[in-house]
Amino acid sequence: MRDLSNEQKRKLLKIARKAIIHYLKNKELMEVREKDRRLNEPRGVFVTLKLNGLLRGCIGNIMPREKLFLAVRNMAVESAFKDPRFPPLDEKELNKLEIEISVLSLPEKIDSADDIELGEHGVIVKSGFRQGVFLPQVAEEAGWNKEEFLGNLCCSKAALSYDAWKDPDTELYVFKTQVFNEKGDN
C-alpha cells in the first residue's frame, strides 16, 4: 500500500469536514469532484470522529466499494449522523469535532493469530455469518494485549464467544492502515 502524500491527506480531511457541515445544514450529500488519480482509486476506508478525545462515531468499509474521495465523504456523513451507537451530530459539537481517516490495504487471510502484529494490523474475525473488525489503533487505545484484542473483537464486534478466535473454523484476516487526522498526527 503506497502512502498518501500530505497534500492528499489534507484534501481528504477537508472533504470529510465539508461533507459533515453540508449534511448538517442541507440533509443531503454534497457534490464533490476530484482529479487526483490516487484519490480516485477504490479503497476501503473508515472515518472516526472524536469529541474531547472520546469516540463520537466510526463507520467505514473494509473492502473498496467506491473511489477513495467518495468513500471518505460518505463515511464521514455516516459516522456523524448514522452511527447507531450515538445520536446524530448537532451543530454545537461541530467546532470540537476531531476527524481521523484510516485508509485500508486489502485484507489478507492468515493461518494463525501468531501472524498478527499488534498495533500494525487491523483484524477481521469471521465465523459462519458473523464477523467483526477492529482497526489497528484499537489495541493501543484500549491498552490491550493480543489475546484481549482478539477476545474483545470476537465478543463485542462479532457476537461470538471470547475465545472464538482460537477455533480452527474461525477465519482471521489482517490489513494495514494509513491513519491521519486534522492535528497532523500520522
Which ranges in the chain are annotated with CATH 3.30.1490.150?
108-175
- pLDDT digit string, tens, across residues 145-185: 999 999 999 999 999 999 999 999 999 999 999 999 988 76
CA gap 95, 11 in Å, rounded: 19
Contact indicator for 118, 139 with CB cutoff of 8 Å: yes
Whether domain 108-175 has CATH 3.30.1490.150: the reply is yes
- Region 98-106: mean pLDDT is 95
Lookup: cell for 113: 493469530
Pick the CATH number of 6-104 from 3.40.630.10, 3.30.2350.10, 3.40.50.10480, 3.30.700.20: 3.30.700.20
Report the pLDDT averaged over residues 100-123: 94
Chain center to CA of 30: 21
Q: What's the pLDDT band for 70 if we cut at 50, 70, 90? A: very high
CA distance 48 to 54: 10
Q: What sign does the CA torsion over 183, 78, 89, 51 have?
A: negative
Tell me the backbone φ, ψ of residue 185, rounded to 5 degrees. Answer: -75, 120
Separation between Cα atoms, residue 121 and residue 136, nearest integer Å: 5
Q: What Cα–Cα distance (Å) separates residue 171 from each residue in 99, 138, 157, 179?
A: 31, 20, 14, 25
C-alpha cell recorded at residue 21: 457541515
Query: Above 70 in pLDDT, residue 186?
Result: no
How does pLDDT run across 7-29, given as a tens digit for each residue? 999 999 999 999 999 999 999 99
Cβ neighbours of residue 105 under 8 Å, at least 6 residues apart? 1, 44, 175, 176, 177
The enclosing H or E element of 151 equals helix 146-152
For strand 122-127 and strand 130-134, is the pairing parallel, antiparallel, or unpaired?
A: antiparallel
pLDDT-derived band of residue 1, with 50, 70 and 90 as boundaries? Answer: low
| Residue 147 amino acid letter | E
**Which residue intervals of the chain bear CATH 3.30.700.20?**
6-104
